[in-house]
Amino acid sequence: MRKIIHIDMDAFFASVEQRDNPELRGKPVAVGGSRARGVVAAASYEARKYGVHSALSSKIAAQRCPHLIFVKARFDVYSAVSRQIREIFYSYTDLVEPLSLDEAYLDVTENKIGMPSATIIANQIRQRIFEETGLTASAGVSFSKFLAKIASDMNKPNGYTLITPDKAEEVVAALEIGKFYGIGKVTATKMQSMGILTGADLRERSEEELVRHFGKVGRYYYRIARAQDDREVQPHRIRKSIGSERTFETDLAEEEAMLVQLEYLAKEVAHDMERLKATARTITLKIKYFDFTLNTRSKTFVSEISSADAIFTVARDLLRTPQLPQYPVRLLGISASSLLYQHDRLQEGYQFTLEF
């Protein structure tokens, strides 16, 4: 049985700002935007108590929390801190699968310190993160990625949760369907309309019924309702594309708000490309409108690109071409493809094969 840890930093961007500026500690902070215009990229826990969250209009955020403090995003700092945290992960295991700047899976079944207890390792990591960065993290420990991810969210911030095999089905049965990792808002709403409100309700449905209503992913829903997930932590997965996307709690209608989000996404993609030592020739912008209509726009180059600035510039141009979105946007995504990895470049020049 595997021992999987999911580490999730607490309000990462905002916490970095509060760490670096003592005057912000204990106060409601919004990263990105301003009191007059823009959109919130991240919010501290103090701000979240007032209903301030990412992708919220800055004007609305200021109305909900009149004493909200707006600070400019510093993605270069967040990326540097993220790299520092991942070095801590790698001191315990090479089986690390980053999901974003602020979260990752670790397989510690076999680990570098010979520690049989995943619980002890998770809490050591949390303590080291705090000592070395001044930031807090929450951890979930279990025997699968799905359960570890759920567990890390059960006792935030600065918390720890263990889901043991004998408790797994009980935990999943009691979980609200909207809190299932891998079930988004749209799917959750559809399930709720079908009377599927909890994991216990989901478990009552047959695999055939779930596939009929949700397609192939219905098989995944069938398994996780039974606490079954055999996906491995994939530290060196070679991908055909590298991307990041965000679904917004409030649809975006203004270009400025969309550009703020694209800047964040571009930095996320660039960070992963740097980590994987990859460059790209194609950038794709994904736009999902309020009515779930999907639109993709892409551009391919002769030369390779990898920097956040270059990716953002391409995404911004795609957003405006042939015209800005004419309807409210609920999701934006950027992906880089036609990838070239460093080892391919060294070993095979420009002839390379990418496989999942």
Inter-residue contact 157 to 18 (CB < 8 Å) = no
Q: Is 201 annotated as a binding residue?
A: no
Give me the DSSP letters along 282-345.
EEEEEEEETT--EEEEEEEEEEEE--HHHHHHHHHHHHHSS---SS-EEEEEEEEES-EEHHHH
**Host H or E run for residue 234:** none
Answer yes or no: 103 catalytic.
Answer: yes
Angle at 233 between CA 306 and CA 132, to 5 degrees: 70
Query: Angle formed by the axes of helices 165-174 and 145-152, to 10°?
Result: 60
Q: State how far the Cα of 157 lies from the Cα of 344, in Å rounded to an integer.
A: 41
Give me the DSSP letters along 140-165.
EEESSHHHHHHHHTSS-SS-EEE--H
Task: Tokens for 284, please give them.
Answer: 């794709």
Inter-residue contact 129 to 136 (CB < 8 Å) = yes
Total length of the chain: 356
Q: Is 10 annotated as a binding residue?
A: no
Q: State how far the Cα of 96 lies from the Cα of 170, in Å rounded to an integer.
A: 28
C-beta atoms surrounding 165 within 10 Å: 12
Set 17, 97, 103, 263: catalytic member:
103
Contacts of 112 (CB under 8 A, 6+ apart): 91, 92, 93
Q: Report the half-sphere exposure of 239 (CA within 13 A, side-chain side).
A: 20
Which of 328, 278, 267 lies closest to 304, judged by CA? 278
Q: State how far the Cα of 241 lies from the Cα of 273, in Å rounded to an integer.
A: 10
Catalytic residues, which ones? 103
Q: Tell me the binding residues for Mg(2+).
A: 8, 102
Annotated binding site: 8, 102
